[in-house]
Amino acid sequence: MSTKPLYARNWADLKAEIRRPGGAVAVAEQALAAIEANGEANAYRKVDPERVRAEAAAAGARIAADASAPALAGLPLSVKDLYVAEGYDTFAGTTMALDAHFPTEGPVVRALRTDSVVVTGKTHTVEFAFGGIGTNPHYPTPVNPWDGATERVSGGSSSGAGVSLWTGTAALALGSDTAGSVRVPASLTGCIGLKTTHGRWSIDGIVPLSPSLDTAGVLALDAEVVAEAFKAIDPVAKADPRFVARAWPGRVEGLRIGVLRQSYEGSEPGVAEATDQALKELEAAGAVLKDVSLPVVDEALALFHVGGVAGVEFAANINNRFPEWRDALDPNVLQRFAAIEQATAVEYLRRLDALAAMQAAGARAMDADGVDVLVGPTVPVHAPTVQEVASPERYVNRNLLALRNTVVGNFLKLAGFTIPAGKDALGLPVGLQMMARTGADIYAVGLLLAVARVLGQPYDRLGAPPRAR
């Protein structure tokens, strides 16, 4: 067995190792050893070593019996504790099991289980996924691996996902994204994060935050792993593999990139520079860059700052389903709750209408500017220290900044991803966000593969983080 940690192995080598006799079990044992060695990183809420071993043994038996076993068989997968996963209670960042309300695995988890992935455990999430920073007063904060001296947040709400990848405990992570909850932690921890178009993947079996915006997504440290996970989960890709081939761009030559200059506003030192360096490399590979500034982006941000629809739908979920939990909410959530609850039904419907208008306007603007994707920094600011966001006022400010660029993709109903562009002035990862049109998910994943061939995979571009073992 290779002595390299999971984060340092590319997909081809890891797949080959898993498919050797006893390989699935050996890789699972390595993941379990990494979980034990990296406990202070706080990636996981729950791990069941015997279940991990049993799933790995079953995957190994399937591989041994069938040379055409699914590509993902035996791959270690961490699951955000917003998803229902058999054998694990679902807490959704709270201190109570929500199994009675959410008893059944949804199609996303079932699709991966059908392919015999090995679930390494449930990773931490912001309480009810309502936040982009990654802290939760009920549990220890997952520690960003990229600062060896100071504890920094990993981004939220899929706060344990990126940490699970860089600690070598998983090769694929399930997250969810309502305003950036896959892309923000992926960006701040130096991973690849995929956001699907709203409605493309079922959100059954996932504790809801905002059904109008919730999407399922994945994180990984290899674009090929993201692509394999997409093909395993996506109903369209599974139904017609030829459709994948037709919509799968193999290179960036001729790609028309709209550089969204609004997304650079307020960037902290090194963020814009790393983003522009990555864009120069894509331009050298044949992409065509064009600066754009879309009025609809300003409209989306204005709606975000008054709570959008997510806050209203979240408040309704709490009051209607978990009224006893209201006063026990994270204080950073509770302080916004009174204002959220004051939104009338008329105001909520107005906001839904505004979202629909923005989505149509965004599509028209991309057509008018002649661009295939909108691009910019995924997160314009550094990952704050845990101490910095202990202040409620500071938390609110950093939370808005962390989600500022990603929420546009949710409001405009775009498909896309983040991939590491480089490092900022503090040596922390900077993500490059690429957002394609509504429903262009297969195109986005194919584009991710092409971009990764230019920029390199995260480990190649960034190296190993200071806290990695």
Q: Does 36 map to a domain?
A: yes
DSSP state of 124: P
The pLDDT score that the predictor gives to residue 388 is 96
Q: How confident is the model at residue 194 (pLDDT cuts 50, 70, 90)?
A: very high
Q: Which residues are catalytic?
A: 80, 157, 181
Residue 319 is assigned to a structural domain of this protein: no
Domain-located, residue 296: yes
Which residues have C-beta within 8 Å of that of residue 298, sequence separation ≥ 6? 262
Is the per-residue pLDDT at 390 higher than 90? yes
Task: Look at residue 329 and tell me whether its pLDDT is greater than 80.
Answer: yes
Q: Could you read off the pLDDT of 212-245 as tens digits, one per residue? A: 999 999 999 999 999 999 999 999 999 988 888 8
Q: Is 422 helix (H, G, I), strand (E, B) or coil?
A: strand
Q: Is residue 321 part of a domain?
A: no
d(CA 404, CA 374): 15
The pLDDT tens digits for 305-317 are 998 999 999 999 9
The pLDDT tens digits for 12-61 are 999 999 999 999 999 999 999 999 999 999 999 999 999 999 999 999 99
CA distance 307 to 197: 21
pLDDT score at 122: 98
pLDDT band at 154 (very low <50, low <70, confident <90, very high): very high
DSSP string, 327-373: GGS-HHHHHHHHHHHT--HHHHHHHHHHHHHHHHHHHHHHHHHT-SE
Q: How many domains does the chain have?
A: 1
- The Cα–Cα gap between 248 and 100 comes to 41
| Tens-digit pLDDT profile for residues 269-285 | 999 999 999 999 999 99
What tokens does 348 get?
Answer: 């909520």
pLDDT, average across residues 338-354: 90
Q: Is residue 1 situated within a structural domain?
A: no
Each residue's pLDDT tens digit, 76-105: 999 999 999 999 999 999 999 999 999 999
> Is 326 inside any structural domain?
no
Residue 94 located in a structural domain: yes
The predicted pLDDT at position 270 comes to 98
pLDDT for the residue 20: 97
Residue 322 lies in a domain: no
Give the predicted TM-score (pTM) of the model: 0.97
Cβ-contact 323, 316 below 8 angstroms: no
Instruction: Give the range of the structural domain holding residue 260, as residue numbers without chain letter.
Output: 6-306+332-462
Average pLDDT over residues 175-195: 98
- 134: CATH: 3.90.1300.10
